A and B are shown apart, each in its own frame.
Chain A
Amino acid sequence: MTRRDLAVIGAGPAGMGAAIEARARGLSVLVLDENAGPGGQVFRAALACGRDPAVAPEIAPGLPLIEAFLACGAEYRPATTLWHLDPEEGVLSLVSGGVATEVAARRVVLATGAQERPVPIPGWTLPGVMGAGAAQIMLKTAGAVPAGRTVLAGQGPLVWLLAVQLARAGAPPLVLETRTVSIASALARAGGGLLAGRRMLAKGLALMAEARRLGVRVVAGVRGLRAEGAGRVERVAWEGGGAPCDTLLLHEGVIPSVHVSRAIGLDHAWDAAQACWRPVTDAFGATSCPRVAVAGDGAGIGGWEAALAAGRLAGLDAARRLGALDEAGFAAAAAGPLAARRAALALRPFLDALYAPPAAILSPHDETIACRCEEVTAGAIRRAARIGATGPNQMKAYLRCGMGPCQGRLCGPTVAALIAEARGIAPEAVPPLRPRAPYKPITVGALAATAAPAQQGVA
């Protein structure tokens, strides 16, 4: 079995940062990533799309980071999926190109990033309804934009960024803003960070100005959004309005990807400001499991600059724990990333308050499908909760939701919120969904191909 000092799951900003720092202290490092290239979501396909004027300004800061990562001496395995992690023994079970392998690591950094918050509105299973992130991925990986009439509905920084990028590419969307919190009330709750976060704030305001300059039309205060059509989305409707639509892009912010951190049983805490769970970590990413750290958006949403800083800190902490860095050296090296993360997170309380997800998204109407894989409605989940399904794990037995191919990645937050509502308890009082390995489907053939050489080795 291959052995490494440090294994990093995910080659986004956090994973790259961890690898760079650990390598600089002489650790042997393996970085694996499900995607074909480094960069994570924010710098996805950066090497291919860095000259596309639609996305180039936002990709530019990622290019030197990717270059530094590729030169740092870490073993980098793209297109590689983690399907099981044994946190006690530090054994990672991987599959790549149909071949399963195992790697043992003295320390593991999960840098698995974020996913878009599910946006269960009526009609969201119609073809042509996608996440805003999906359209951005089409732009970055294929240079493509939605054809026809595009509606971008939701709220948060990505809405403005994507609106601008689509407009630069010649496909300005109609933006339906679903924000329910006023700027004044967000300021009242979290005004303190505006001065320290003024660089980020200026970036955001510049994006909004660019959107308007490029002709993006914005409807504010949209409530009761629904997608309509026969076999595909043809129209969107909301309270007091409607518009024809060929592609509907939804976005209500992002939440940590906790699939692996939950599967290995790490302690998690409810993040009320972001209405999601996050693994409990110390300042350097260390978790309730002695061998495992979590860095980046997977430990709580902060954006790529905070993720990079957190990754660097987790890499330094790995070096300290494995004896490659003494306390004085650690303190000196950690000061920079700690300050960078503080600066990157300064605006976050304001953004969290301003873009709090509307209640209707967290607990959809009875007729709306909550579990897309097994096609289970919110109403069915409410009924099951009332007759005794106490948590998402029990809900699997009642309705199969969480047992489809996504394994609860997408329905999990909605199912938990519906159970909380139906049982009259706080969201954090709902027992969490416990994902099981394999974290992603693996063929029997891939498993068999691993077993054969091992047996020969024993013989």
Chain B
Amino acid sequence: MFRPRPEARPATVSVLVEGRAVAVPEGASAAAAMLLAGLIATRESAVSGAPRGPLCLMGVCFDCLAEIDGVPNRQACMVPVAPGMRILRQRGAREALR
């Protein structure tokens, strides 16, 4: 979990993380928004459904996969936030196929 430092970077962009409005600084990624929203586990792994969070935040690990504006399995760390963006945790294959 991360805490913002509004004195350094004011939160000016409002997004919806799991349906809850969160304000984050401009230029933050959707993955950063999830962490700032208080999520620690941001997805379930595809094989075992284990909770996972972002590892690298630089487009390498794919552990920040999320559903963004209705498109699943996006690398949330590579998607900058936009006003009103809807970000959902990526559910594991077993759950998604139900």
Contacts and interface: CB of A to CB of B under 8 A. Distances in A.
Main secondary structure on chain A at its contact with chain B?
Answer: loop
Interface residues of A, number: 52
Contact of B56 (A49, A54, A134): A134
A145 B5 CA distance: 8
Contact of B3 (A37, A147, A373): A147
B46 A372 contact: no
B40 A144 contact: no
A52 interface: yes
Contacts, number: 148
Interface string A90-121: 00000000000000000000000001100000
A17 interface: no
Interface stretch (A124-132, A287-295, A416-424): A124-132
Nearest to A37: B27
B15 to A, nearest CB: 12
A265 interface: no
Scoring B24, B51, B53 by chain A CB atoms within 10 A of each residue's CB, the highest score goes to: B53
Contact of A34 (B61, B62, B78): B78
A146 interface: yes
Contacts of B36: 142, 144
Contacts of B75: 440
Interface string B46-82: 1110111111111111110100000101010110100
Interface string A212-232: 000000000000000000011
B84 interface: no
A36 to B, nearest CB: 5
Given A127-B41, A142-B25, A145-B2, A375 B58 contact: no
A131 B64 CA distance: 13
Given A125-B50, A127-B40, A372-B63, A142 B55 contact: no
Contacts of A375: 45, 47-48, 50
Contacts of B54: 130, 134
Contacts of A5: none
A269 interface: no
A391 interface: no
Contacts of A440: 59, 75
17 contacts: A36-B27, A115-B56, A115-B58, A127-B51, A130-B57, A133-B56, A138-B32, A141-B25, A143-B4, A143-B25, A144-B2, A144-B9, A146-B2, A372-B63, A373-B46, A375-B47, A410-B56
